[in-house]
Amino acid sequence: MIESIPTKPGARDQLMNDLKSVIQDAEQWLRHGSQLTGEELQAAKAKFERTLTTAKADLIRLEEAVVEKTKIAAKATDEYVHENPWKSVGIGAAAGVIIGMLISRR
C-alpha cells in the first residue's frame, strides 16, 4: 500500500506554520512599517526574508516528496497493469460504467 505524502512526519504542519508566520510578519510589516526606524526596519525585513526563505525551502521539499511518491505510484500501477492486463481492463470498464451511471443521473 502507498504511504501518505510526505514521508517526513510533520512536514505539512511545519510548512503551514512557516506560511502563517510569513503572513503574520507581512501583516506586521505593513501595519508598522511606516513607524519603524532604520535599524528596526532592517531587522524586520531580515526576519521576514528568513521566514520566507524557510517557507520556500519547506515547500520545495514537500513538492519533491509528492513528485517522488507519484512516480512510485505510477510505476507500481504500470507493473500491476502489465502483470494483470485482464483485471485492469475489467477494473477500467467497471469504473467507466459507474462514472457513466453517475453522470447520466444528473
Q: Is residue 77 part of a domain?
A: yes
pLDDT score recorded for residue 8: 59
- What is the rounded distance in angstroms from the CA atom of residue 102 to the CA atom of residue 106? 7
What residues make up the domain containing 62? 52-105
Q: Is residue 17 part of a domain?
A: no
Q: Please answer whether residues 18 and 58 qualify as being in contact, where contact means their C-beta atoms are separated by less than 8 angstroms.
A: yes
Query: Is 36 exposed, middle or buried (CB count within 10 Å of its CB: 0-12, 13-18, 19+)?
Result: middle
Give residue-wise pLDDT tens across range 15-28. 777 778 778 877 77
Q: Is the pLDDT of residue 3 over 70?
A: no
Q: Is the pLDDT of residue 103 over 90?
A: yes
Q: Is residue 21 part of a domain?
A: no
pLDDT score recorded for residue 93: 94
What are the CA-CA distances from residue 72 to residues 2, 56, 67, 77, 79 (Å)? Answer: 9, 24, 9, 9, 11
Residue type, 84: N
Q: Is residue 1 part of a domain?
A: no
Q: Please answer whether residues 51 and 21 qualify as being in contact, where contact means their C-beta atoms are separated by less than 8 angstroms.
A: yes
Q: Is the pLDDT of residue 9 over 90?
A: no
Q: Is residue 33 part of a domain?
A: no
User: Between 65 and 94, where is the model more confident?
Assistant: 94
Which pTM was predicted?
0.54
Q: Is residue 101 part of a domain?
A: yes
Average pLDDT score over residue span 37-43: 79
What's the pLDDT band for 4 if we cut at 50, 70, 90?
low
Q: Is residue 56 part of a domain?
A: yes
Q: Is residue 66 part of a domain?
A: yes
Give residue-wise pLDDT tens across range 48-82. 788 888 888 888 888 888 899 999 999 999 999 89
- What is the rounded distance in angstroms from the CA atom of residue 59 to the CA atom of residue 11? 9
Give the count of domains, the chain: 1
